[in-house]
Homo-oligomer: A and B are copies of this chain.
Amino acid sequence: MPEFRKDPVVGRWVIVSAERGTLPSDYATKKDKGEGWFCPFCMGNESMTPPEIFAFRKEGTEPDSPGWNIRVVPNKFPLFSSQPHRGMEREREGIFDKMSGVGKHEIIIESPDHDKELTDLPLTTLKKILFVYKMRTEELSKDPRFRYVVIFKNRGREAGASLEHSYSQIIALPIVPKGILEELNGGKRYHRDHDRCIFCDMVEQECQSGLRIIEENEDFITFAPFAARFPFETWIMPKVHMSNYRMIQQHQYQTLAILLSSTLKKLDIALSNPPYNLVFHSAPILGEDLPYFHWHIEIIPRVSKMVGFGWGTGFYFNPTPPEESAACLRGVSVT
């Protein structure tokens, strides 16, 4: 049974699980698995995943059969137990705290076609994927055991993807991740002092200076953050205040899809299809419309090895100033 463990000093939760059965030898042999293997996410292989939760599919086709466009399935190797009626046992082990690893882990297969990347998909499909993110977030938010839903995508093995076929992931957690708590606390502090949302102020300042803007449209801006930890770190943020991704407006699927697609294409061109992590930072499930938090997407291309003292000490060295990465990406034409 996987469990959540809390670091007693800094309060960070970690999921510790042996259920995936990794042995030292799994780490030692780091050979590339090669291509040409059977892909459980391809059309026709539906039986290789757990039964689908949702799919956009042709009328008249059966669940878990071909004919779909986007498919949502439970992760076959979930990070935690998702037993429907299981509660959360909290326990103490001396000075340490832990609780049972209840959570939900879903996979969004973005296309039936093995070779299509997110950026190869038509805008209508991308809009549907963004809608699925919202729909699944809403659904998972109804479970009273959960406090946080995170949407993310790892592209490329170096970024943690286990399969080549393009997919995103949604995880529902019984805790709020420490990094999000810090953003909430920072936002709260600023709001208390200034009675304004720090992210709204950030959007305003970035729009005014233009220095770090990569692209924008009526609803969203793409920019390189002032204190970027990584080369070409790129954020996408709604221009109007909105604390939770669930609050996205119908017409914004279109404007977000356009900007997301274009941003990812620019990164692909500038950095030759880098591996990347894309994470939605959104408010916790409870708390409704927080005046001090503002959802956004953080995209981190995995182009540089982190230097050692970033690990664990939370200090980063970034050899590419965000003004330079923004200028570079602004200049990339995606036609």
| A247 located at the interface, meaning its Cβ lies under 8 Å from any Cβ of chain B in the complex | no
CA of A311 to CA of B12 in the docked complex: distance in angstroms?
13
Q: A178-B314, A179-B314, A319-B22 are in contact. Are A9 and B198 (CB under 8 A)?
A: yes
Judge whether A54 is part of the interface by a CB distance below 8 angstroms. Answer: no
Consensus secondary structure, chain A interface:
mixed
Q: Is B15's CB under 8 angstroms from A316's CB?
A: yes
- Are A278 and B232 CB-contacts (below 8 A) given A9-B183, A93-B226, A271-B28? no
Question: A96: nearest residue on chain B (CB-CB)?
Answer: B226
A25 CB to nearest B CB, Å: 9
**A159, B305: Cβ atoms closer than 8 Å:** yes
**CB neighbors of B among A1-42 (8 A):** 5-18, 20, 22, 24, 27-28, 30
Number of copies of this chain that the complex holds: 2
Cβ-based interface call for A238 (8 A): no
Query: How many of chain A's residues have a CB under 8 angstroms from any CB in B?
Result: 90
Given contacts A9-B186, A17-B317, 14 further A-B contacts (CB under 8 A): A7-B225, A8-B198, A11-B186, A12-B227, A13-B227, A16-B318, A17-B318, A24-B271, A96-B226, A178-B313, A180-B313, A277-B312, A279-B308, A298-B312
* Pairs A–B under 8 Å by Cβ, sample size 28: A5-B227, A7-B227, A8-B226, A10-B182, A12-B314, A13-B315, A14-B227, A14-B315, A15-B316, A15-B317, A16-B318, A16-B321, A17-B321, A18-B324, A27-B274, A28-B272, A152-B309, A153-B308, A154-B305, A154-B308, A160-B306, A177-B315, A178-B314, A178-B315, A182-B314, A279-B309, A279-B312, A298-B311
Question: What residues of chain A have their CB less than 8 Å away from a CB belonging to chain B?
Answer: 5-18, 20, 22, 24, 27-28, 30, 79, 93-96, 150, 152-154, 157-160, 169, 171, 173, 177-180, 182-183, 186-187, 190, 198-199, 201-202, 205, 209, 225-229, 231-232, 270-272, 274, 277-279, 281, 298, 300-301, 303-309, 311-322, 324, 328
